[in-house]
Amino acid sequence: MKEMKKKDKKIVPELASGLRDYLPGDMIPRQGMFDIIRKVFERFGFVPLGTPALEIESILTGGDPSFRMNIFKTNVRMGYDKLSLRFDLTVPLARVIAQYQNDIKKPFKRYQVGPVWRAEKPQAGRYREFFQFDADIVGSSSMMADAEIIAIMYATMIALGVENFKVRVNNRKILNGLAEYAGYSSEKNIDVLRIIDKLDKQGWSAVREELMSTTIAEGEERGGPGLSSQEVDSIKGFLDLRGNTQEEILSEVLKLMRSSPSAKEGIEELSEVLRNVRALGVPDDAWMIDLSVARGLGYYTGPVFETTLLDLPEYGSVFSGGRYDDLVERFSNLSVPATGASVGVDRLFAALEKLGRLKKKKSIAQVMVLNFDSSAEQYVQEIAFILRSANIPTEVYLGNEKKLRDQLGFAKTSEVPVVIIAGGDEAEKGIVQVKDMRKGKQETIDKSKILDIINSVLSR
Amino acid sequence: MKEMKKKDKKIVPELASGLRDYLPGDMIPRQGMFDIIRKVFERFGFVPLGTPALEIESILTGGDPSFRMNIFKTNVRMGYDKLSLRFDLTVPLARVIAQYQNDIKKPFKRYQVGPVWRAEKPQAGRYREFFQFDADIVGSSSMMADAEIIAIMYATMIALGVENFKVRVNNRKILNGLAEYAGYSSEKNIDVLRIIDKLDKQGWSAVREELMSTTIAEGEERGGPGLSSQEVDSIKGFLDLRGNTQEEILSEVLKLMRSSPSAKEGIEELSEVLRNVRALGVPDDAWMIDLSVARGLGYYTGPVFETTLLDLPEYGSVFSGGRYDDLVERFSNLSVPATGASVGVDRLFAALEKLGRLKKKKSIAQVMVLNFDSSAEQYVQEIAFILRSANIPTEVYLGNEKKLRDQLGFAKTSEVPVVIIAGGDEAEKGIVQVKDMRKGKQETIDKSKILDIINSVLSR
């Protein structure tokens, strides 16, 4: 009676909003994408790091009362802190660098892939759990490192089969000179940059309005910086700077901002980046210096990077990052310069899908052995064993359909390229029937020939 | 002033107890282990599934008031439920099966790898966040499926280079007949099985004591079942059953328990498993029917599996599972039989390390290009570009050491097999020096020969 009651009340099988499943049809190409990214990162000599999803709350917030990110906190405490879910992979990296400073030799080039969480109000295309795939170089202040990050961004896009993209590069040091150049108080600069960062998605007129406003915009906690129309026009002049070559842009910016030591330093850094990016084989048309790239996160201190898909600009940046020389100092007296970038895996996957760059497939098995005659069960298993021993991914049909025809239908839906038919007759004679599902051809062969035949069918 | 204060107060870089990092020296072989397991699972035709870490609380608990697992709950709600961290990958699989029942064709053979969380008191070797790597066959009631799970357990151990292991197999249906056979009330059986499950770790005398006790043991919520010494002796007789062959054990159990219809069914199932496991090429000495295997989790309904490393029995089972025909019914009126097993990745990794079965290495780069002459920076980057374009993992030295000797020392510590030395002189002449770090040999070569020479040094 109790048993029945329990069985009758069903739990609704669902996910909370902002979360999603990847069924195999999506997961197979997604995993293929991960494999490609990993191979590129390893080609540049990066090594993997693993850190837990749960971090101590103050590690994540830096104990900063103005910390703005919504993080997931759990019911488990450590001291005054709650164990909380990481919102990126960069802060845990900085913790690791400080925590194991004697074990980790620098420069340290690490990659890491894993989920991160943000307890934001779910919106279309914005998820509360999503994957990042990061590559960072820790312990190098050289612009060669920043150039390498740009090269890895380029190489990743090429390896994924994306052709029409642009890596956009700027320098926070140049942006830090913006207040001086446009004439507003430098205290307002952090808000100005945060608003400029929205340019891509909201367009200039919305950004202009917010820069001039003093009221609190939606989703923000503070009022706008209330710039004058003259100040805003100066900013616009800066953002619109273009040139025929990267050198030309840099010399134009230098003209505008030569009074700012910070901007001058930023421009010199980008000149160095430029030379090294070219030496690393990145063609000039794959990237550009774009003064409007600001990046939202507060911890950037030098060059910043974004990657835009030119056919899908509305997807925003799919691979972004920058230099963050002060982050490790949050945890240690060590000053450890660092630079890196992060693939927005889920956004990139959606974009690749839209661009038709994913090799979609439903099945990993190359062969399905049908199983319609209970007297041949062991024979069927033996065939599967032979194929698997030769590293041919093989599935035995294990479902409820008993008829050959229905099992063939299942094999067709699974898109498996080869089917083997082996019932009692075949078992007795030591033969099997091999069906090429793509050509519809079927042949009867001796069991001893099975590997030769299957390999030749698969290579057709 | 404010700035200084902030910088002075450091956040301690640490992890909460029960959590751990994997630095590259561990992460490289760990990733190698994942690659091997994935390849084996794919060889058996399993396809990948991805589900989020966060599930709705009642999905995880099944709304069961006697649910015993401590789960991590977050501060984000959905209705009355809190979003919570999954404690295994099986319950999310059951949810997926119920939720997408029209999209997922059955039988469905999926693998999934990812972290799971348990908010337990941390103990030595017990973690609050750890990885599982699962393979399950959903929608097949055939014992061929259970045999396939045993075959995959065997194949995984072999692929990982483990030789001395035993897959131990039992059937919950046989254990369900235990009450009838030993003469105690069947209501006590769930507690009896839970206690028997501790046999491996606690030994018989502790188990005997707990079976006879009615007081509440440490870590438990209910009192022991209070069996008589006669009942406990019967159980001991059952657990001790052995035979020279699998068939002999099964016929011995049948003699003992022929009065229990459940046990008889369980024995028949294992006979079928036995025939199929052999057909799948698993040698008899790699597995055994072991009547003491109970498995802790409540959802098992048929065959259950464990994998013990014979050289490290104290590590417990490293790959375990069983048949769970009723789990999907928690979410749906569908009855979906299922069976599978889960690699305890972290435990297995620790064991493989102890057994010396891990290929430890610190570096993925095969070549490090030193960088000690700022006039040769672009030349160094160009060399790296040539090597990477040929898929040779290559690192450019980007650290703070300026002296050749110190950079060579870093390369040595990194265990990178080949070092390239290229300063201003080399750049001018279009040559490089190639140093074989394993043999200590160094040669000067023309830049155009670099790929030939490096490949030949690496293949030495």
- Could you report the per-residue pLDDT of B184-195, keeping only the tens digit for each? 998 898 889 889
Domain boundary among B305, B329, B354: B354
pLDDT tens for A368-377 read: 999 999 999 9
A contact residues 51-110, partner B, Cβ 8 Å cutoff: 51-56, 58-59, 62-64, 72-76, 78, 83, 85, 95-96, 98-100, 103-107, 109-110
- Residue A96 tokens read as 């690791």
Tens digits of residue pLDDT in A425-452 = 999 999 999 999 999 999 999 999 999 9
Mean pLDDT score, B382-387:
96
Q: Where among B319, B354, B389 does a domain terminate? A: B354
Which residues in chain A have Cβ-Cβ distances shorter than 8 Å to B64?
6
Residue A459 has pLDDT above 60, yes or no: yes
Do B130 and B165 share a structural domain? yes
Q: What percent of chain B has pLDDT over 70?
A: 96
**B98/B173 same-domain check:** yes
Return d(Cα B184, Cα B194) in angstroms, integer.
Answer: 15
Together in a domain, B34 and B129: yes
Task: Verify that B318 and B440 share a domain, yes or no.
Answer: no
Range of the domain at A398: 367-458
Q: Is residue B222 part of a domain?
A: no
Domain assignment of residue B80, yes or no: no
Whether A394 is covered by a domain: the verdict is yes
* A-chain residue closest to B119, CA distance: A76
The more confidently predicted of residues B110 and A69 is B110
The answer to whether the bond into A107 is cis (omega within 30° of 0) is: yes
What 8-state DSSP symbol labels residue A296? S
pLDDT at A57: 95
Which chain A residues have a beta carbon less than 8 Å from that of B83? 16, 72
3-class DSSP assignment, residue A416: coil
Binary contact (B276, A381; C-beta < 8 A): yes
Q: Which two tokens stand for residue A120?
A: 């934001």
Nearest to B334 by CA among B152, B95, B36, B47: B95
308-367 in B: which are within 8 Å (CB) of A? 329-333, 362-365
Q: How many residues does chain B have?
A: 460
Q: Residues near B285 by Cβ (< 8 Å), separated by ≥ 6?
A: none
**CATH classification at residue B278:** 3.30.930.10
In B49-106, which residue ranges form alpha helices assigned H by DSSP? Answer: 57-61, 90-99
Q: How confident is the model at residue B5 (pLDDT cuts 50, 70, 90)?
A: very low
Mean of all residue pLDDT scores within chain B: 92
Of chain A, the end-to-end C-alpha distance in Å amounts to 60
pLDDT over 60 (residue B458): yes
Report pLDDT digits (tens) over A135-158: 999 999 999 999 999 999 999 999
Q: Is B377 a member of any domain?
A: yes
Q: Does B140 touch chain A (CB under 8 A)?
A: yes
Q: What's the mean per-residue pLDDT of chain A?
A: 92
Give yes or no: residues B292 and B340 share one domain. Answer: yes
Looking at residue A222, its pLDDT comes to 73
Q: Specify the pLDDT at position B430.
A: 97
Cβ pair B78:A16 closer than 8 A: yes
B176-189 mean pLDDT: 90
In this predicted model, which residue has the larger pLDDT, A68 or A380? A380
Q: Are residues B140 and B114 in the same domain?
A: yes
In this predicted structure, what is the pLDDT of residue A297? Answer: 66
Minimal Cβ distance to A21: which of B50, B371, B399: B50
Residue B107, classed as helix, strand or coil, is coil
If asked whether residues B378 and B268 sit together in one domain, one would say no
Q: Is the pTM of this model over 0.80?
A: yes
B301 within 8 A of B65, measured Cβ to Cβ: no
Using a CB-CB cut-off of 8 Å, the residues of chain B touching A28 are: 47-48
B57 domain-assigned: no
Residue B39 pLDDT > 90: yes
What pLDDT does B4 receive?
41
Question: Measured between alpha carbons, how far is B367 from A147 in angstroms, rounded to an integer?
Answer: 19
Give the tens place of pLDDT for each residue, A210-243.
999 988 776 666 778 999 999 999 999 999 898 8
Residues in chain B closer than 8 A to A398 (CB atoms)? 107, 109, 137, 140, 142, 144-145, 148
Give the lowest-confidence range in B124-128, B275-279, B437-441. B124-128
CB-closest option in B14, B49, B83 to A16? B83
Shared-domain flag, residues B36 and B135: yes
Question: Looking at the predicted structure, is the pLDDT value of residue A4 above 70?
Answer: no
Mean pLDDT over A41-68 rounds to 92
For A327-365, write each residue's pLDDT tens digit: 999 999 888 999 999 999 999 999 999 999 888 888 999
pLDDT tens string B261-276? 999 999 999 999 999 9
pLDDT of residue A220: 66
* Residue-wise pLDDT tens digits, A71-95: 999 999 998 899 999 999 999 999 9
Stretch B243-252: mean pLDDT? 92
Residue B3 — pLDDT band, cuts 50, 70, 90?
Answer: very low
ipTM: 0.93
Boundary-marking domain end, from B354, B389, B418 = B354
- Specify the pLDDT at position B26: 95
What would the pLDDT profile of B356-367 be if each residue is shown by its tens digit? Answer: 988 888 899 999
Query: On the CB side of B282, how many CA atoms lie within 13 Å of its CA?
Result: 28
- Shared domain for B404 and B454, answered yes or no, is yes
Among A339-353, B81-95, B145-159, B209-223, where is mean pLDDT lowest? B209-223
Separation of alpha carbons B382 and B400, rounded Å: 20
B283 and B341 assigned to the same domain: yes
The answer to the question of residue A308 being in a domain is no
User: Is it the case that residue B222 has pLDDT exceeding 80?
Assistant: no
Q: Residue A233 is which amino acid?
A: D
Provide, rounded to the nearest whole percent, the portion of chain B with pLDDT above 90: 80
Query: Is the CB of residue B196 less than 8 Å from the CB of residue B188?
Result: no
Is the pLDDT score of A108 beyond 60? yes
| Residue A419 within a domain | yes
Per-residue pLDDT of A382-425, as tens digits, reads 999 999 999 999 999 999 999 999 999 999 999 999 999 999 99
Task: Name the domain count of chain A.
Answer: 1
Question: Is the CB of residue B222 less than 8 Å away from at least one CB of chain A?
Answer: no
Task: Decide if B313 is inside a domain.
Answer: yes
The CATH number of the domain holding residue A390 is: 3.40.50.800
pLDDT at A265 over 70: yes
Question: Do B452 and B344 have their domain in common?
Answer: no
Q: In this structure, are B29 and B127 located in the same domain? A: yes
Q: For residue A3, name the pLDDT band (cuts at 50, 70, 90).
A: very low
pLDDT exceeds 90 at position A15? yes
Contacting residues of A for B26, CB less than 8 Å apart: 50
Task: Write the CB contacts of B456 (distance below 8 Å, at least 6 apart in sequence).
Answer: none
Separation between Cα atoms, residue A210 and residue B348, nearest integer Å: 55
Name which residue leads in pLDDT, B80 or B338.
Answer: B338
